[in-house]
Amino acid sequence: MSAHCVLTGAEPGFGRRISHSHRRTSRRFDPNIQRKRYWLPSEGRYVRLTLSAKAIKTVDTIGIEAAVTRIRARGVKV
């Protein structure tokens, strides 16, 4: 599973670890990605979405129908 949110588009960020001696090595900042299942009443089925924690709160606010509309507008198949 890639660390990518289908609603917000959140994906990993990259940076550097800096040790005490100031040596630099690459690191990766992953978003908090969860797989969540929602009931989609308009289609009479469940959909399983890969969402960040922030996107889960967004779905709770705007509703699953509006969220699926936004996801499809981004060109992602649901």
Q: What average pLDDT score do residues 28-50 get?
A: 96
Q: What average pLDDT score do residues 2-26 get?
A: 95
pLDDT of 2 higher than 80:
no
Q: Are 51 and 5 in contact (CB under 8 A)?
A: yes
Summary mean pLDDT of the chain: 95
Residue 11, C-beta contacts closer than 8 angstroms, at least 6 positions apart? 2, 3, 4, 5, 31
Beta-strand pair 33-40/13-18: unpaired
Residue type present at position 42:
S
- Which pLDDT score, from 0 to 100, does residue 47 have? 97
* Cα 18–chain centre separation: 28
- Which pLDDT score, from 0 to 100, does residue 1 have? 52
Start-end of H helices in 13-63: 53-62
